[in-house]
Amino acid sequence: MKPTKNRVYIFDTTLRDGEQSPGFSMNLQEKIRFARQLEKLGVDVIEAGFPVASEGDFISVQQIAKEIRKPQIAALARADLKDIDRAWDAIKEAAHPRIHTFISSSDIHLKYQLKKTREQVLAEAVRAVGHAKDLTDNVEFSPMDATRTDKDYLCEMVESVIEAGATTVNIPDTVGYAMPDEMGDLIAYIFAHVKNIHNAIVSVHCHNDLGVAVANTIAALKQGARQIECAVNGIGERAGNASLEEVVMALETRKDILGFSTNIKTRNIYRTSRLLSDITGIPVQPNKAIVGANAFSHESGIHQDGLIKEKITYEIMTPASVGVNDTNIVLGKHSGRHAVKERLKKLGFNLSGEEVDKVFIRFKEVADLKKEVFDEDLEEIISDIIFREPDKYKLLYLNVISGNAAIPTAAVRMEVSGKVIQDAEFGVGPVDATFAAIKKITKTKHSLIKYAVNAITGGTDAQGVVTVQIGYNGYTVSGRGSDPDVLVATAKAYINALNRLETMKNLERRRPEDVSQ
């Protein structure tokens, strides 16, 4: 029998499944900053990371567990006693800790990856849950690749782990293979065949390889699941996880037929999505549901005509309901420190006096170059100067010559571990010359994966936001830089990527293949 209560628990895995995907890695400060925003958003559970994966992951999970007090803080662990102990060490000081342990259950994984029998895997799952239960009452178990697992074996495993103490059983569509009807049927099957199912909350974790993660998630809810695992902007392994904002707004907008409620403060959705893009340097596609730049813009004349007459003609939810256009108060070069400080507070940044001073100096520089400074510009300034880790490389000076009658040349002066070094290089164009000069100074070896320029806020006086993604020895890191001058933004973004790569190397983060998950 399906549960009668219709409250849906939101388990956010942006900082775990999302952060582990290429280009989305974050440093400690960035993870904490994002976790604070998730708390404001009202998620029920934050999966903060996979502590055994690296020292860096352990520390960030531990810090989030200490600081974020309202949501439950989950740490992921393989069904291995040492993994579980490490996860527990990271979260034991959380106000509401949760251990999330998993092992593969499909014959495909058992045969080719684990090389174990069903009996062995079942015994390991039960032992892992029992061990986790000795540490905390709040234990989640996931049979990985559940949607390609023999149904009766899956039910046996679910029943056994609940018997061993699991309080949440998560059914992952690990490879994004299921179709919505199938996902719904699987959850219904579990409810019909697992006799102790009502002693646990059933959860789903759907990947988006076939573009149906959100539909699968909703299908599962209709059959009795009450926790959903999702990520902001839908980030995650490969094609990503079910997008938090899409599932939540579907439940909200179609309450009439679905009848579910969540704890999410939907007005914080847009800000959360923007913060993630700001931190990772990866913007969302313009036509992305809910948070894309075009999600609420109407181009067709017929649609515009209808909207002017009555919004409901073409608008199924208001932009304000997800926080779009909530905060467009504009500051300019005549705005004083007090106005900037007040605006920062409204944006949720409670900075110290010294930090406000730093932001204000930069604000004045930007305001001198632009007529209007938007909230997005302020957020950009903050990410740039407050939330950045101490850097090995710093840009001191950049001069670029280009044009149709000049050989593009960049002269760069930098600080490298405290030492001032300068050099110049030619390039095919000004961007290429800037990259070449910085590469020469820093003597770094890596591949360039992506270079992208965006503008925040319209107009030719917009700040250019540059994203640079580089790859080195299996790591992929993104860097971001903003400046009204696109070449300066380019140099900043490239140097930011190099600094982040250094942090990553220092943390000796293990590469994904070292940790099977």
Size of the site for Zn ion (CB under 5 A): 1
- Rounded distance between C-alpha atoms, residue 219 and residue 258, angstroms: 10
Task: Name the residue nearer to ligand KIV (CB basis): 45 or 382.
Answer: 45
Helix residue spans in 7-117 (DSSP H): 28-41, 55-67, 81-91, 107-109
Task: Name the residue nearer to ligand KIV (CB basis): 267 or 510.
Answer: 510
Stretch binding Zn ion (CB under 5 A), from 9-17, 213-221, 386-394, 446-454: 9-17
Closest distance of CB 142 from ligand KIV, Å: 4
- Is 128:100 a contact under the CB 8 Å cutoff? no
Task: Name the residue nearer to ligand KIV (CB basis): 79 or 248.
Answer: 79
Contacts with 10 (C-beta within 8 Å, 6 or more apart), sequence order: 42, 43, 44, 45, 227, 228, 230, 244, 248, 262, 263, 264
Among 142, 168, 268, 463, binds ligand KIV (CB under 6 A): 142
Decide if residue 102 touches ligand KIV (CB under 6 A). yes
Closest distance of CB 205 from ligand KIV, Å: 5
Decide if residue 47 touches Zn ion (CB under 5 A). no
Tell me the pairing of strands 393-401 and 409-416.
antiparallel
Stretch binding Zn ion (CB under 5 A), from 11-19, 57-65, 86-94, 285-293: 11-19
Among 174, 434, 442, 463, binds ligand KIV (CB under 6 A): 174
Query: What mask of x and - would describe binding to ligand KIV in positions 196 to 215, judged by CB under 6 A?
Result: ---------x-x--------
- Rounded distance between C-alpha atoms, residue 235 and residue 239, angstroms: 7
- Rounded distance between C-alpha atoms, residue 305 and residue 378, angstroms: 35
Stretch binding Zn ion (CB under 5 A), from 13-21, 51-59, 65-73, 291-299: 13-21
Decide if residue 278 touches Zn ion (CB under 5 A). no
* H or E stretch at 170: strand 168-173
Concatenating the DSSP letter of every residue in 183-250 gives: HHHHHHHHHHH-TTGGGSEEEEEEB-TTS-HHHHHHHHHHTT--EEEEBGGG--STT-BPBHHHHHHH
- From ligand KIV, Zn ion, none, interface partner of 142 (C-beta below 5 to 8 A by class): ligand KIV
Closest distance of CB 140 from ligand KIV, Å: 9
Decide if residue 24 touches ligand KIV (CB under 6 A). no
Among 97, 165, 172, 427, binds ligand KIV (CB under 6 A): 172
Among 12, 14, 17, 232, binds Zn ion (CB under 5 A): 17
* H or E stretch at 74: strand 72-78
Helix residue spans in 281-352 (DSSP H): 301-309, 337-346
Block residue for tokens 């909230």: 375
Closest distance of CB 517 from Zn ion, Å: 8
Task: Name the residue nearer to ligand KIV (CB basis): 144 or 225.
Answer: 144
Stretch binding ligand KIV (CB under 6 A), from 154-162, 169-177, 315-323, 478-486: 169-177
Four-residue CA torsion sign, 68, 72, 75, 80: positive
* H or E stretch at 367: helix 353-369
Decide if residue 144 touches ligand KIV (CB under 6 A). yes
Decide if residue 33 touches ligand KIV (CB under 6 A). no
Task: Name the residue nearer to ligand KIV (CB basis): 236 or 484.
Answer: 236
- Rounded distance between C-alpha atoms, residue 208 and residue 186, angstroms: 18
Extract the tokens encoding 308. Answer: 């002017």
Stretch binding ligand KIV (CB under 6 A), from 166-174, 298-306, 449-457, 494-502: 166-174
- From ligand KIV, Zn ion, none, interface partner of 109 (C-beta below 5 to 8 A by class): none
Stretch binding ligand KIV (CB under 6 A), from 167-175, 266-274, 304-312, 364-372: 167-175
**Whole-number Cα distances in Å, 167 to 85, 142, 159, 201:** 18, 11, 11, 6
Stretch binding ligand KIV (CB under 6 A), from 170-178, 361-369, 417-425, 435-443: 170-178
Task: Name the residue nearer to ligand KIV (CB basis): 174 or 216.
Answer: 174
Decide if residue 19 touches Zn ion (CB under 5 A). no
Task: Name the residue nearer to Zn ion (CB basis): 76 or 249.
Answer: 76
CA neighbor of 480 nearest in space, from 411, 398, 379: 379
Closest distance of CB 488 from ligand KIV, Å: 40
Among 12, 14, 17, 340, binds ligand KIV (CB under 6 A): 17
Terminal CA-to-CA distance of the chain, rounded, Å? 32
- In the three-class reduction of DSSP (H, G, I as helix; E, B as strand; rest coil), residue 105 is classed as coil
Extract the tokens encoding 312. Answer: 């409901």
Task: Name the residue nearer to ligand KIV (CB basis): 169 or 251.
Answer: 169
**Whole-number Cα distances in Å, 330 to 360, 374, 464, 465, 517:** 15, 5, 18, 19, 46
Task: Name the residue nearer to Zn ion (CB basis): 136 or 208.
Answer: 208
- Rounded distance between C-alpha atoms, residue 21 and residue 435, angstroms: 25
- From Zn ion, ligand KIV, none, interface partner of 144 (C-beta below 5 to 8 A by class): ligand KIV
- How is the beta sheet containing 419-426 ordered, strand by strand? 393-401, 409-416, 419-426
Residues that bind ligand KIV (CB under 6 A): 17, 102, 142, 144, 170, 172, 174, 205, 207, 517
